[in-house]
Amino acid sequence: MSHGDLETSADLRRLVERLYPLCRSITGDGVRRTLEIVGEHVPLEVHEVPTGTQVLDWTVPQEWNIRDAYIKDASGRRVVDFQESNLHVVGYSVPVSRKMPLSELREHLHTLPDQPSWVPYRTSYYAPTWGFCLAQETLDAMPDGEYEVRIDSTLADGSLTYAEHVVPGEVTDEVIISCHTCHPSLANDNVAGIAIAAAFARTLEKPHYTYRFLFMPGTIGAITWLARNNDRVGRIKAGLVLACAGDPGSLTYKRSRRGDAEIDRVLAYVLADRAHKIVDFSPYGYDERQFCSPGFNLGVGSLTRTPYAGYPEYHTSADNLDFVSTEAMEETLQTLKDTFAVLDRNRSYVNLSPFGEPQLGKRGLYDSLGGRSDAKQAQMAMLWVLNLSDGEHSLLDVAERSGLPFDSVAAAAEALHDAGLLKD
């Protein structure tokens, strides 16, 4: 299978545009189609978990699919039409085919009075009901009288679908990158995250850790994955939940529950030179809640731009293709690359010649710097790495304490290791 390019910002944009119209939910064919498209870019292992499967304290629900839905006025005109926007139907709505007066229909209508031209996004996954979402100005223009209401949906035993893409590393310790696949046409929350995760996966070549990308519905998907991968949890070295990845706001990192996990320190270091906010963990938000639940307590943080519910367009029709910018997505992608470039090379070493400063010249280490424009920096990096390599300090500690770039510190450690002066 040949996999499509995601090498340029235009490729990233095209993927977002392809994924945006699909009607996703926590289950169903919209999720499968989404994963098919992602699978054109990175090979995916797709899992189907049957309805009724017990997953931790939850049960996999029935599968929901929808073909059409509308509200027609007395003239037969569709005043609300699922074909125009999949946000128009409350997610997981049970099928309905009725005529009713507006007074009765109102109980099933959701609007945003403060944003009269926007359509809200609503779901009711675990309580059987039905409803429509529409602009307040549409509702205001609907006269009293009888309306024909139809939701052509099915709620039936099926399965929950999620997918994994694994990049094998030198070691079996894992880094997980997770994004949710359960929102319909919301470009920032979640299509941008899906596209950026796929693009990042394609850049990884021969990493140290094994990288596992998870494309799954929010909450129930992470709970299902954890329930089915309990034996793997002990190997998870670090992780990041990616969401709201393309809006114009500055980057926001939410720490893991631990607060001092390696991923927390790496993100603080990487974000120091770009506009950002770092916030403490709270048990509300995306799937970091599941990975950081007390029984697992994994070192998993969350990277967004504007966080969960932090922008007016959140969970509305205004979270559209115009709301996400290519520049913002590129910056988020670059931040992922920079973060895992540090995490993947961050080791602790032991200096094998710790009594006094070892002679670098006789090992050819100074000669290797000859003529390099950064020779002084590289020399300082070697001295710092030797001094702090006592088994207690990581290369990130060295970079932070010395003020030297992590790349220089990692390169110095590699040279010293090759010269027999350091061991892992």
Best CA proximity match to 422, nearest among 379, 388, 380: 388
Would you state the pLDDT for residue 1? 36
Cα(83)–Cα(353) distance, integer angstroms: 71
> Is 110 annotated among the ligand-binding residues?
no
Pairing of strands 174-180, 236-242: parallel
Residues 30 and 72 in one domain: no
User: CB neighbours of 380 closer than 8 A, spacing ≥ 6?
Assistant: 402, 404
Q: Got the DSSP string for 159-192?
A: EEEEEEEEE--SSS-EEEEEEE---SS-IIIIII
Residues 71 and 91 in one domain: yes
Pairing of strands 96-101, 146-156: antiparallel
Count of the separate structural domains present in the chain: 3
Would you state the pLDDT for residue 364? 82
Residues 143 and 281 in one domain: no
Average pLDDT for runs of 10 along the chain of length 424:
67 96 97 98 98 98 98 96 98 97 97 98 94 98 97 98 98 97 96 97 96 97 97 96 96 96 97 91 94 97 93 96 96 96 95 91 74 79 95 95 95 93 92
pTM as predicted = 0.95
Would you state the pLDDT for residue 308? 85
- Which one of 288, 309, 344 terminates a domain? 344
Q: Under a CB-based contact definition with an 8 Å cutoff, are residues 87 and 202 in contact?
A: no
Residues 314 and 333 in one domain: yes
Q: Identify the CATH number of the domain in which residue 306 sits.
A: 3.40.630.10
Q: Identify the CATH number of the domain in which residue 101 sits.
A: 3.50.30.90
Residue range(s) defining the domain that contains residue 398: 347-423
Q: What is the pLDDT of residues 11-67, one digit of tens each?
A: 999 999 999 999 999 999 999 999 999 999 999 999 999 999 999 999 999 999 999
Q: Is residue 377 part of a domain?
A: yes
Residues 255 and 127 in one domain: no
Would you state the pLDDT for residue 2? 43
Q: Which residue has the tokens 């021969």?
A: 206
User: CB neighbours of 232 closer than 8 A, spacing ≥ 6?
Assistant: 174
> Is 183 annotated among the ligand-binding residues?
yes
Residues 209 and 174 in one domain: yes
- 278 burial (CB, 10 Å; 0-12 / 13-18 / 19+) is middle
Q: Is residue 418 part of a domain?
A: yes
Residues 195 and 330 in one domain: yes
SS3 396: helix
Residues 319 and 247 in one domain: yes
Residues 75 and 55 in one domain: no
Residues 131 and 205 in one domain: no
Mean pLDDT for the chain overall: 94
Residues 173 and 218 in one domain: yes
Q: Is residue 305 part of a domain?
A: yes
Q: What is the pLDDT of residues 332-356, one digit of tens each?
A: 999 999 999 999 999 999 999 999 9
Residues 356 and 335 in one domain: no
Q: Is residue 2 part of a domain?
A: no
Cα(106)–Cα(138) distance, integer angstroms: 12
Would you state the pLDDT for residue 39? 97
- Which one of 309, 344, 379 terminates a domain? 344
Contacts of 309-316 with CB under 8 Å at 24 or more apart are 310/249, 310/252, 311/247, 311/249, 312/115, 313/118, 313/188, 313/247, 314/189, 314/244, 315/120, 315/121, 315/186, 315/189, 316/87, 316/112, 316/115, 316/118, 316/119, 316/120, 316/121
